[in-house]
Amino acid sequence: MTRIDWNAPHGTPADANEVAQIVDGIAPAAEVRINVRADGWLVRALLPAAMCSRGGGFAERDVSRKVADALRDAGYPAL
């Protein structure tokens, strides 16, 4: 399951479970940090470090853009 660390001034949003399901469908088992800002959600997402043992480096693990795109498509203000 994907783990999301919310950095939100008013706590975890009410629809956090919906967001987690979207993210889990795109990047299962990812470590995700969402910084909620006035201009939108800044998303950082990394796939598990185990990918490194299969020849994948940091660039292959970084799925931030992919996750942000999926959240934007679902109507969330992801950057």
The string of pLDDT tens digits covering residues 35-79 is: 999 999 999 999 887 655 555 666 778 999 999 999 999 999 999
Q: Where are the domains of the chain?
A: 1-7+29-55+71-79
16-35: average pLDDT = 93
The residues, ordered by sequence, that sit 6+ positions from 50 with a Cβ below 8 Å of its Cβ are none
Is residue 23 within 8 Å of 67, Cβ to Cβ?
Answer: yes
Say whether pLDDT at 17 is over 90. yes
